[in-house]
Structure 1
C-alpha cells in the first residue's frame, strides 16, 4: 500500500485526483492540503510515502514546501503537479529535491505509474515538459563554477567508473532495484553510491542528477 497526500489549492483538482486514485487498491489517500503551510503541518501527524503537490499555491507554494519537506523528511517522495507553462517553477522545485513532475491533465494510468515509479526510487520527468526544463537546467548549470576552473565534464571526473555506471542508470530512469539487478549489487550499496554521487556533483535529487547526466553527452 502506498500512502499519498494531495496538496492543491483547487478543490476540484483534489477531488478529481481522489476519484482517479480511489480506483486503485494499492493507493491510500491519507490527507489533503490547500497550500504548502497546511501540508507541512499535516506531516507532523501523517507521514506519507508520496506527495502529489501543485507547484503554485497561496501562502506557501510547492517550491518552498518541497525544500522544507526534503530538509526534514528526506524519504518522502514529492511529485510536482504542473501546467505546461510552469517550467521555471518546476526547475526550482527539482533543485529543492522534488522527485519528479507531471502535468495536471495527465491520464489516470500515467498518474499511477508516476506514483509507483517515485515510490520505488525512480525519478519521473514528464516528456511533454522535459525539454523546457532541461534547457533551463543547462543554461544555469553552465554558468556555475565547479571547483574553480573545472567545467561540467571535469566535474564528472570526480566519479569512479562504478559511480558513473550508477549515475547513467539513474539518468535512464532506473530505480534502485533495477540497478541492483543490472550491476549485481545490493540495494544498500546502490543507495550509498547514489548518495556519494549526489554529494560529489553537488546535486539534491535523482531527478537533478538525471538532468545533469543527460546534458553531458556521456
Structure 2
C-alpha cells in the first residue's frame, strides 16, 4: 500500500480460538493493523467507540448482542466504520438481516487471507466485499424474485418491473420511491458489485455524475450504504437486465 495508512481493523468473534486465529492471520497481511478484538457484539460496539477502526470483521452468532444488532448500532453511531461479516452461515436468515443492518461485506469462515484482505480493501474503497458464494445466493434470490414477479408488464403494482421495462421505456411511475430510469440503472450496477469508477466507464459518464446519482437514489430509497442498496435492488427486482 506504498505509503498509505494501514487499514485499522477490529475483530469480533465469541470463540476464542477463532478470534485469536483471525487476529494472527490479519497480522500477516500487508496494509492491515488490528486495533482490537471483541468477544461479543456489546464489546465490539464499545471497542469501535474507543478505537474508531476503519473496518470491523463481525461474527453473527454471539452472546449478549449478536452481530446483526452490533452492526446496526455501529453503522448508526459510527458511519465511517464499515462492517464485513465473517461467519459460518450464508443462509438467507443470516445474510439479508446483516445487509439490511448495514454490513457492506459478507464472507464465510472458509475464506482465505487474500479474500479477507480484498473484502476489507473493497469496503474501505466504497465497494461491496461479498464472497462468491454470497454473490451466487443473491443472484439466486434475484432470479426467484423475478420468476415470482412474472413477465414484464404483467404484474400489477409495478415495483418489480423497472429492470424489464428499461430506462428508456418506463417513467418514474414504474419505479419505486420515485427513482428515475438513470438512477435505477446506476442502482442495478451497484447490485452487480461495480465501483463508482466502473459504473462511470459502463455508462460513459464522469465519476462525479455517478456520485450524484448515487446520492439521489440513496436519499429516495432511504438506504445508508451500498450493501443496503444491493438488498433494496434485489428486493425490488432492479437488475442489470435494464442495461
Give the TM-score normalised by the residue count of structure 2: 0.75
Larger radius of gyration: 2
CA 1:67–1:192: 2 relative to 1, 3 Å: farther
User: Aligned to 2:92, which of 84, 87, 96?
Assistant: 87
Taking only aligned residues, the RMSD between alpha carbons, in angstroms, comes to 2.7
Q: Is the 8 A contact 2:119 2:130 kept in 1?
A: no
Q: What 5-or-longer segments of structure 1 have no aligned partner?
A: none
**How many aligned positions are there?**
210
Report whether the alignment pairs 1:123 with 2:131.
no
Mark the runs of 5 or more structure 2 residues left unpaired by the alignment: 1-5, 150-155, 163-173
Q: Which residue of 1 aligns with 2:23?
A: 18
Q: Which residue of 2 aligns with 1:166?
A: 186
Q: Deviations over 1:108-153 (max 9, x none)?
A: 11111111111110012222234445566766xx89xxxx945233
TM-score, normalised by the number of residues in structure 1: 0.82
**120-129 or 25-34, which moves further after superposition?**
120-129
Indicate conservation of the 8 Å contact 2:13/2:38, yes or no. yes
Alignment CA distance shift 1:164-1:88 (3 Å): same
CA separation in 2, counterparts of 1:42 and 1:172? 33
- Is 1:205 aligned with 2:233? no
The 5-angstrom pairing of residues 171-210 of structure 1 reads 171-180=191-200, 183-186=205-208, 190-210=210-230
Call closer, same or farther: CA 1:127–1:211 in 2, change over 3 Å.
farther
Alpha-carbon distance between aligned partners in 1 of 2:219 and 2:175, rounded to the nearest angstrom: 12
Q: Tell me, in whole angstroms, the C-alpha distance in 2 between the residues paired with 1:41 and 1:135.
A: 36
Distance 1:161 1:151 in 2: 13
CA–CA distance in structure 2, aligned partners of residues 37 and 175 of structure 1: 32
Change (3 A) 1:191 1:3: farther
Displacement of 1:53 after TM fit? 0.3
